[in-house]
Amino acid sequence: MTALMLALPALMLIAGFPIYLILFITALVMMAMTSGVATTIIQTSIFGSLDSFPLLAIPFFVLAGEIMGQGGIAKRILAWIIALVGGVRGSLALTTVATAEVFGTMSGSSVGCIAAVGRLLYPALRDNGYGQKFSASLIASSGAIAVIMPPSIPLIIYGVTAQQPITPLFLAGVLPALLIGAIDAAYVLWWARKEAVPLTDPLRWANAWAATKDALWALGTPAVIFGGIYGGIATPTEAAGIAVVYSVLVSRYIYGDLTWADLWRISRSSALVVTQILIIVAAAGVYSWFLTTSGLPQTVVAGIKALDLGVVGTLLLFNVLLLLVGSFLEPPAAILILTPLFMPIITILGVDPIHFGIIVTVNLSIGMYAPPFGLNIFATHSLFNVPLGPIYRGVLPFLAINLVALMLITYIPEISLALLKLR
């Protein structure tokens, strides 16, 4: 029975089934083969998995991110960053990393970051000495930063699944996201010097001041989100709702870049994205119920305990598993399936569950641009019409340096937990 629960999803994934259908069908097969299980468990598990106040933050953050990306906010933040880093060799690549960090504070969606940042920067990168391969791979890998930097949709899902508070998880994601951004920035500056990328216009204080004034309202977006959450004014869900209202008001009435027709179109596309996430949450709720009642988590715990790997070896094993799974599955599905299996082991080992949430999220963010099936690779390929071969080759250096960051985050808990101790 346990073997079937693992083999059937794997076969369906290879066959190309959508992940929500894989989980639903596996659960239905398990129910048909298990005597004494009432069919009402399906409805109960579906609605139980969705009946969570923190999950309401997901549609709000997705909508806010789309409004900012298409309503002129992201464009002004990008212009502000370019004005500040002008004259540095590699400034456009550095701008890409910095913009991904800032966009991550407003959205939490990796693909959304690729679309918003990439549409603005990819043509400039490609035409200013960076080339197609480097430009596309930089955008694909930088998009993963948005998954780690709060407000992060995977961190919300992890918090709900692992029954951990969302606000500390958000706070714990700040330094790891900045660390990865700093490592990426150091690499792109080194690469730009090695390749003798042409210099951009030097920093001019008049331009920087003009860009700052123009971006002032745009920069208020992360201030609204973080100030609301960490100032104790609002929960993450409430802050997400406030961010939507703020972004609409700024884009529509201050910048004038958003019409009501645009807002309707953005709302419809955001609803589709949210539906794709929440249907996976619903399907995973049913699958997780059968997974738990099958005794598989206890079997996994006993098997890993028998290996006697200790904390260091077990976390390394989890990193390998999460990287592999993350290159096939989107973070929400991976978190919903694996967290119930991993949490009992983490509890036994004494690993802080907040720290482990960051480990999980960083692994899955790296998996999103890991060849051959990383979601960011296909998003970049589709959005910018870049062949897969150059992207596969181009992301390898970013994969290598971010694996170094992952090891630091995994084995130095203070990187994740330092800000929590200052509260």
Distance CA 280, CA 24 (A): 9
| Burial class (CB within 10 angstroms; exposed 0-12, middle 13-18, buried 19+) of 316 | middle
Q: Which two tokens stand for residue 178?
A: 């900045």
The alpha-carbon radius of gyration of the chain (Å, integer) is: 22
Q: Find out whether 144 and 96 touch, Cβ atoms under 8 Å.
A: no
Torsion sign, CA atoms 296, 302, 303, 305:
positive
Q: Find out whether 333 and 19 touch, Cβ atoms under 8 Å.
A: yes
Q: What pLDDT, on the 0 to 100 scale, is given for residue 123?
A: 84
Q: Which two tokens stand for residue 5?
A: 């629960």
Element (H, E) at 389: helix 388-411
Distance CA 60, CA 237 (A): 8
Residue 359 CB partners (closer than 8 Å, separation 6+): 315, 318, 319, 322, 406, 409, 410
> Which one is predicted more confidently, 401 or 76?
401
Q: Which two tokens stand for residue 343?
A: 């949490």
Q: Find out whether 368 and 118 touch, Cβ atoms under 8 Å.
A: no
Q: What is the DSSP letter of 394?
A: H
Distance CA 40, CA 319 (A): 36
What is this structure's pTM? Answer: 0.84
100-114, 123-137, 321-335, 356-370: least confidently modelled range: 100-114
Q: pLDDT tens digits, residue range 254-306?
A: 988 888 999 999 999 888 888 888 888 888 788 777 777 767 667 777 787 78
Q: How many domains would you assign to the chain?
A: 1
> What range defines the domain where residue 354 resides?
2-31+39-421
Q: pLDDT tens digits, residue range 104-157?
A: 777 667 777 787 777 778 888 888 888 889 999 999 898 888 888 888 888 999
Q: What are phi and psi of 54, to 5 degrees?
A: -60, -30
* Helical ranges in 52-144 per DSSP H: 57-70, 73-85, 91-104, 110-125, 131-142
Q: Find out whether 124 and 92 touch, Cβ atoms under 8 Å.
A: yes
Q: Find out whether 110 and 143 touch, Cβ atoms under 8 Å.
A: yes
Distance CA 105, CA 225 (A): 8
Question: Crossing angle for the helix pair 40-50 and 19-33, nearest 10 degrees?
Answer: 140
Residue burial 395-417, b: 16+ Cβ < 10 Å; e: rest: bebbbeebbebbeebbeebebbb
Q: What pLDDT, on the 0 to 100 scale, is given for residue 203?
A: 64
Residue burial 208-234, b: 16+ Cβ < 10 Å; e: rest: beebeebbebbebbbebbbebbbeeeb
Q: pLDDT tens digits, residue range 91-115?
A: 888 888 888 888 777 766 777 778 7
